[in-house]
Structure 1
Amino acid sequence: MKVMKFPTIAIALFFTLGIVSDFYWKPDITWVILLTILTSLVFGIQYWLAKKHFIQKTYFGLATYSLSFSIGVLTHALHFEPGFKNHYSHFLTENNTLQGTVSERLKPNEHAEKYYFKISKIDGKPVFGKILVTVSKKGKQHQFHSGDEIIIKGDVQPIAKSYNPYQFDYAAYLEKQNVFHQLYLKPENHIQIGTRHHFDYYVERYRNIVLNSFNIHHFSPETDNVIRALLLGQRQDMDAQTSENYTNAGVIHILAISGLHIAILYTMLLFFIRPLQRFKKGKLLQFLIVIGFLWLFAILSGLSASVVRSVVMFSFVSFGLYLNKTGNIYNILAVSMLTILLFRPNFLFDVGFQLSYIAVFTIVWLQPLYKSFKFSRYKVVNYFSDVLVISFVAQIGVLPLSLYYFNQIPMLFFLANLVVIPLSSFVLVLGIAVLLFNFILPDFAILLGKLLSLSIEIMNEYIAWIASFKHFVIKDIPFSFPLLLIAYLVLIACVLWLYEKQFSRLRFFLCAAVVLQLALLNTFRQTEKGSEFIVYNNRKSTLLTEKQNNKIIAYTNDSLPHENTNLRAYNRGKFNQEIEIRPLPNVLCYDKNKILLVDSLGIYTTKQQPDVLLLTQSPKINLNRVIKVTRPKMIIADATNYKSYVKRWKATCEKEKIPFHATAEKGFYRIEN
């Protein structure tokens, strides 16, 4: 089937290009409005002319796509919050007083809880926008909830970029959520003044009512967290080991509410309310119940990108059934994507949104190919074969994207999905039944809960068994953005040739494959060139690397250097070069730069005249005296030092007018050749 014959597909593509353009270039809003007005006028003229012709000319199509592009630019510009004058970022000074409410609890780390905080006032002035609030787990800090109104006195700081090379850029991720600053909450810098009963408050309240109904079962934490993830997508408290097992087994999508979950809910709803069709307005009532329930579920689950995509798609499907019309799946995909991005354009940059749409599109696009195969005349055999085939097809579609974002391939995803997809579907249906009986017949719910708990334990143990074969999980696969684009070009060319085995399509596929190989060779050649010296922001131990063409020398006293995530990320970014581990020396030379290391012993030689003085492991030294003796041109303090020491050293360097770099504040330090 020719996908591009559907104009909605092309319109959606140009719309997304407009969003991407505004995100990266951010033109002035005045020019964006003028562009939209101009393209609207051109489109109106072309539409008026097109009505006079039976066969449409290309001008009308170009005008349509131009308008779609400009609307995409305008949509993102209007959703870029700092572009508005009353955004909090325009009122930031030192030691601001902020008033606002907690809107959402995020997944915590081992040290701190994290929340989104919506600011309503700053120094008494009405503003809007949200920041990231971090609360240490040390002490007696209680957990906040949506709607908690707080007054905070403190300095709002920009969210730091990547602290180490090729590390996940958390600041860039939050920027796509319209979050640009953070604040550390301490007992002495805030006061809770009440609770605001707004939308976020009621969402969390009723979500907790639903989830707390399972308390009567006294499930284990592992079982309870899986239920929370499967039913309402709440994974904040899931332990790291369970998440890692699901990831390494290739079934992490089970814990993220997606099309599979919504399809099951949709089917159950239609089954139970089918008798309504017998009534005069029963079909309309059926449609309203389905739409209302699906959107209520989406709201309670947090309106994540994959959930919204699924609910919007099924909303269009339900509307089509109500009108006795079956829309084409490509049109439904395109229209649902346009609808979502009109209201939430930053969803385009969400990994879940991208994986969700690409997986569904691949399954639909390749359906005529794999549906022609029947492996058996038995329905049970065909069911499990369909599960495997669809899982494999979806995995092919998202493979380049998975490599780009996650840099790993779980080779046993076939075995995992063969059991987990049917079992998780059963668990979801049973979980919904238990949820209903929690409120209606608690005694019967407890009986069903035992079966639910057993099913989840079996699923978790099976996934843990699959994940235990660590050699079948290929990790740290380097993959750049150009390779991502070329890989999808190869995939598209291959599918086109499979549909019509023409010489021109074969030539296109072979050329794309050659381009991919040339891109790989060029990437390897570029990464093997040059040299650089890196001082890492590594908290547990000092880590330095020196890259010499196709070799990386790592200086560290870490007992397990190859397990260091910063070193692994750097090596992956350099496309897996040879690594040589060496112990930390007292003096290093790199490209005529002499680097003197002073560690916790505080011992250094007075004969050295270093270009760079590197302070590690909190040495008890008089920095003024060290500067007078060694006369360094630059001083660096890595993340192994006490913060109080770093603060004192920074003041000393400012006084002596010597450049000072603290990796805990500014991230890694690079010396290039």
Structure 2
Amino acid sequence: MKTIKFPTVLIALFFIFGIVANFYWRLDTTWIAVTNLTVLILFGIHFRLSNKHFFQKIYFSLFTCLLSFCIGMLTYSLHYHPGYKNHYSHFLSDADLMKGTISERLKSNDYAEKYYFKITRINDKKVFGKILLTVPKKVSTEKFHAGDELYIKGELTPIAKSFNPYQFDYASYLEKQNVFHQLNLKAGTYLKAATNHNLDFYVETYRNKLLGSFKIHHFTNDINHIIDALLLGQRQDMNSQVTDNYTNAGVIHILAISGLHIAILYALLLFFLKPLNRFKNGKLLQFIIIIVFLWLFAILSGLSASVVRSVVMFSLISFGLYLNRSGNIYNILAVSMLIILLCNPNFLFDVGFQLSYVAVFSIVWLQPFYRSFKPSRFKLVNYFVDLLTISFVAQIGVLPLSLYYFHQVPLLFFLANLVVIPLSSFVLILGIAILAFNFTIPGLAIILGKLLGFAIEIMNQYIAWIASFETFAIKDIPFSFSLLLIFYLMLTALVLWLYEKEYSRLILFLSSSFAFQILILFTLWQSKQGSEFIVFNNKKSTLLTEKRKDRISVYSNDSLPKENKNLKAYSCGNFNQTLEVQPLQNVLFYDNRKILVIDSLGVYSLNQKTDILLLIQSPKVNLNRVIETIHPKAVIADATNYKSYVNRWKSTCETKKIPFHATAEKGFYKIEN
């Protein structure tokens, strides 16, 4: 008899465990390959043996899980770029002249443009790899484009970890994109050569051509940016205020291409291609056209994790329809996840990927509870009820992840989704139609464009109105990874009990709820232990904190220090302990150590022997003389100083062989007892 099929979900789960294990262990690829081969042979033996038994033996199940785990480890190892000998990171000591191409433009700020830069050569050596390229606007006002080939002289530096405690770790995020170094472009150190007509070039060219067709409508920048985000997922130039409004209202997912957008595009394709079913091989042609269109859209929108997830899922659904088979939705989710992670295991650590799959799984898993609820005989009423119910279910599913990553809960997401989801769907459908008319019937496109602009204005104003109720957005909620795991265990136990109200499942739910509360109390107790003194990397004003058990003393001359985002993150990370704000003093004491602060006035006492010298606000002092006078054991310069001053002080300290720490270069400085 044939071997009983093993659950795809379990295979995907152990495959994920393998990726996570190798992400932290980083084992040798050769050793992993040998282990895979050994496990594969054992799996094959037990597969043959299992065919001889009616009931499946547990050994076959164990080796299936083990093989999936090992393949997950091997997949991550093969996609880890520094593991290859020709990766640029192995030639940093010889790096003098680099050649490469721009692959993607990232979100810019007021001071610089940022790009992903693919290195192809270091001196005369052929290499590969991707770095973060920062181009200050004072160096070049010209924006680079995908495919632009550059010759650069400069030093590659590791991407610094988070510059302040409990902040978003940008270095860790980029590491998961296989980006490990950065280069700050300087004037006169680069030469722009011919454009490389590669895939990146054509993707950006055609994307810009499509989005550029909306110029005939003369929309405002805010409307154009919403169109760019909704149609092709481009948010690099979006106004930060608009982004904050959508975030605080709980509908930021609308601006990211996700399942809703792909579902609408898929439905439109099915509708317009339905007549093909009347012809011979028309069903096959319909399937091919849908797959091609979906993947072209995914490529043009940047192949983000949520887009790839949605396109893979709808590709599998479309394939099932072509074969006249309706697959189990859980298997489709698992297979789509396996396909995506086999191609790019780093997607597993992408927040969008995690939120996307958890939201879809929550909607599917809880479907029996809300589908049966029909409060009215009117379809329109039931539509809005379904909309709210599905939004609520998805929000519950992603709640632990949202708390862990974003530390906030928008309470008015019900009201926001009630209007924004139907309106954004209308905007998306109308936008796709206008995009086609921009190239074919410009006159009609301009007429419809007025309706499109009005709809987006209404949507933006409504979101801004929802976001204005700041008291309904609970922010700065402390939440650790251990709380995340226990929270999901508690939610899972609750749903299992709702499906079958058994005593054992009730005990599991109550036990996990009790464990969640105990963990909260333990985390609160743990956060009050120990003490530390922090010099923050804060550009606008000096910010110092002294933590002692459940109290945090803040030293700053800022008029509104509690509104400082760096202090908010630190307070949240310490589970929102009591903040006591005090004016900045020239002399501070911590753990029997004396800290002398010299500000822009440059005033200090000649008799002040000190342990740590803190320089702030660019004081005009002779550091060499100061060191000889007060004999500090370490010198710190915070981010309020001029860069030229910091460089001069650094040289002085190197000459004097005194430890020097510049927060703008190395991040925050911490003193622990």
Q: TM-score, normalised by structure 2?
A: 0.99
Offset of residue 665 of structure 1: 1.3
SS at match of 2:22: helix
**Secondary structure of 1:368's aligned partner:** helix
Alpha-carbon distance between aligned partners in 2 of 1:347 and 1:69, rounded to the nearest angstrom = 17
| 2:27 matched residue in structure 1 | 27
The answer for the alignment partner of 2:521 in structure 1 is 521
2:84 is the counterpart of 1:89: no
- Assess if the C-alpha contact under 8 Å between 2:95 and 2:123 holds in 1: no
Other structure's SS at 2:540 match: coil
Distance in 1 separating the partners of 2:96 and 2:403: 43
Contact 1:101 / 1:150 at 8 angstroms: preserved in 2?
yes
Offset from partner CA, 1:446-491 (integer Å, 9 cap, x none): 0000001111111111001000101111111110000000000000
Counterpart in 1 of 2:148?
148
Instruction: Please name the residue that 1:133 is paired with.
Output: 133
Aligned counterpart, 1:179? 179
Q: State the number of aligned residues.
A: 669
Q: Distance in 1 between matches of 2:332 and 2:601?
A: 67
* Divergent runs of 4+, >6 A: none
In the other structure, the counterpart of 2:566 is 566
Aligned residue identity for 1:254: I
For 2:466, the equivalent position in structure 1 comes to: 466
User: Counterpart of 1:615 in structure 2: which amino acid?
Assistant: L
With 365-374 and 76-85 compared, the bigger mean Cα shift is at 365-374
CA–CA distance in structure 2, aligned partners of residues 525 and 110 of structure 1: 42
Q: 1:584 — aligned with what?
A: 584
Partner residue in 1 for 2:348: 348
SS of residue paired to 1:466: helix
- Structure 1 Cα separation of the partners of residues 126 and 427 of structure 2: 47
* Aligned-pair CA distance for 1:657: 1.4
SS in 2 for 1:93: helix
TM-aligned CA deviation for residue 187 of structure 1: 2.5
Displacement of 1:393: 0.1
The match for 2:327 is 327
1:141 shift after superposition: 2.5
**For residues 331 and 174 of structure 2, what CA distance do their matches in structure 1 show?**
31
Give the conservation status (yes or no) of the 8 Å contact 2:139–2:185: no
In 1, the alpha carbon distance for the partners of 2:460 and 2:137 equals: 28
Cα deviations by residue, 1:160-190 (Å, 9 ceiling, x for unpaired): 0111110110000000000000001122110
Matched position secondary structure for 2:387: helix
Amino acid at match of 2:484: L
Residue pairs, 1:190-209, within 5 angstroms: 190-209=190-209
- Tell me how far apart the structure 1 counterparts of residues 292 and 278 of structure 2 sit (CA, whole Å): 20
Q: Which amino acid aligns with 1:612?
A: I
Quote how far apart the aligned CAs of 1:139 are: 5.2
**What letter corresponds to residue 553 of structure 1 in structure 2?**
S
Tell me the equivalent position of 1:604: 604
For 2:567, give the aligned amino acid: L
Please give the root-mean-square deviation of Cα atoms over the aligned residues, in Å.
Answer: 0.9
Q: Deviations over 1:123-165 (max 9, x none)?
A: 1210000100001123543000000000000001100011111
Per the alignment, residue 167 of structure 1 pairs with 167
Instruction: State the Cα deviation string for residues 502-547 of structure 1 (Å, max 9, x = none).
Output: 1111110000000000000000000011111001111111111000
Q: How does 1:413-562 map to 2 (within 5 A)?
A: 413-562=413-562
User: Matches of 2:147 and 2:560 in 1, distance apart?
Assistant: 44
User: 1: CA distance between counterparts of 2:352 and 2:646?
Assistant: 40
1:109: how far off? 1.8
Q: Distance in 2 between matches of 1:307 and 1:36?
A: 31
Q: Is the 8 A contact 1:556 1:582 kept in 2?
A: yes
- Secondary structure at the counterpart of residue 491 of structure 1: helix
Superposition TM-score, scaled by structure 1 size: 0.99
Q: For residue 255 of structure 1, what is the amino acid of its counterpart?
A: L
Amino acid at match of 1:270: L
* 1:636 partner amino acid: I
Say which SS state the counterpart of residue 92 (structure 1) adopts. helix
Unaligned runs of 5+ in 2: none
Alpha-carbon separation, structure 2, partners of 1:476 and 1:123: 48
Counterpart contact for 2:97–2:152, Cα < 8 Å = yes
Verify: 1:657 aligned to 2:657, yes or no. Answer: yes
- 1:397 is displaced (CA, Å) by 0.2
Q: 1: distance between equivalents of 2:58 and 2:206? A: 53
3-state SS of the aligned residue for 2:619?
A: coil
Query: In the alignment, is residue 404 of structure 1 matched against residue 404 of structure 2?
Result: yes
Quote how far apart the aligned CAs of 1:110 are.
Answer: 2.1
- For residue 102 of structure 1, what is the amino acid of its counterpart? I
8 A contact 1:141–1:187 mirrored in 2: no
Q: Per-residue deviation at 1:93?
A: 2.1
Deviations 1:352-395 (A, max 9, x none): 00000000000000001111211111100000000000000000
Q: Does residue 247 of structure 1 match 2:247?
A: yes
- Deviation for aligned residue 1:197: 0.2
Q: Is the 8 A contact 2:233 2:302 kept in 1?
A: yes
Query: How far, CA to CA, are the matches of 2:666 and 2:599 in structure 1?
Result: 20
Q: Given the alignment of the two structures, is residue 15 of structure 1 paired with residue 15 of structure 2, yes or no? A: yes
Pairwise mapping of residues 172-321 of structure 1 onto structure 2 (< 5 A)? Answer: 172-321=172-321
Alignment partners' CA distance in 2, 1:302 and 1:282: 30
Q: Distance in 1 between matches of 2:53 and 2:269?
A: 46
Question: How far apart, in 1, do the equivalents of 2:670 and 2:140 lie?
Answer: 40
Amino acid at match of 2:664: A
- SS of aligned partner of 1:237: coil
The CA deviation at 1:54 is 1.5
Q: Which amino acid aligns with 1:215?
A: K
Q: What amino acid is the match of 1:398?
A: V
For residues 663 and 8 of structure 1, the distance between their equivalents in structure 2, rounded to whole angstroms, comes to 49
Do the aligned partners of 1:6 and 1:330 also contact (CA within 8 Å) in 2?
Answer: no
Q: Name the aligned partner's letter for residue 219 of structure 1.
A: F
Number of the residue aligned with 1:80: 80
Judged with a 3 Å threshold, the aligned counterparts in structure 2 of structure 1 residues 254 and 289 are, in CA distance, closer, same or farther, namely same
Asked whether the equivalents of residues 317 and 326 of structure 2 are also in contact (C-alpha less than 8 Å), the reply is: yes
Structure 2 counterpart of 1:111, one-letter code:
Y
Shift of 1:275: 0.4
Task: Quote the Cα distance in structure 2 between the aligned partners of 1:89 and 1:605.
Answer: 48
Contact preservation (8 Å) 1:594, 1:612: yes
Contact preservation (8 Å) 2:139, 2:186:
no
Q: 1:560, CA displacement in angstroms?
A: 1.2
Q: Secondary structure at the match of 1:134?
A: strand
Mapped to 1, the partners of 2:539 and 2:459 lie a distance apart of 37
Alpha-carbon distance in 2 for matches of 1:669, 1:288: 58
| Preserved CA contact (<8 Å) 1:232 1:301 | yes
Counterparts of 1:372 and 1:101 in 2: how far apart (Å)? 55
State the distance in 1 between where 2:38 and 2:391 align.
46
**1:198-252: CA deviations, max 9, x gaps?**
0000000110111011111011111111001000000001000100000000000
Distance 1:71 1:6 in 2: 16
1:27 and 1:123 mapped to 2: Cα distance?
Answer: 31
For 2:387, the equivalent position in structure 1 comes to: 387
Are 2:98 and 2:122, in contact at CA under 8 Å, matched by a contact in 1? yes
Q: Contact 2:139/2:187 (CA < 8 Å) preserved in 1?
A: no
Aligned residue for 1:496, secondary structure, equals helix
Contact 1:598 1:616 (8 Å CA) reproduced: yes
Equivalent position amino acid for 1:75 in 2:
T
For 1:605, give the aligned amino acid: S
Q: Percent identity?
A: 68
1:38 aligns with 2:38: yes
> Hey, what's the Cα distance between the residues in 2 that align with 1:23 and 1:337?
18
- Equivalent AA in structure 2 for residue 264 of structure 1: I
Stretches of structure 1 lacking an aligned partner (at least 5 in a row): none
Partner of 1:367: 367
User: Is the 1:94–1:155 Cα contact (8 Å) retained in structure 2?
Assistant: no
**Does the 8 Å CA contact 2:96/2:154 hold for their aligned counterparts?**
yes
Distance in structure 2 (CA, Å) of the matches to 1:78 and 1:95? 25
Most deviating of 538-547 and 649-658: 649-658
SS for the counterpart of 1:31 is helix
The question of whether the paired residues in 2 share the 8 Å contact of 1:610 and 1:630 is answered with yes
Amino acid at match of 2:504: S
* Cα pair distance change 1:525/1:420, threshold 3 Å: same
Bigger drift between 634-643 and 321-330 goes to: 634-643
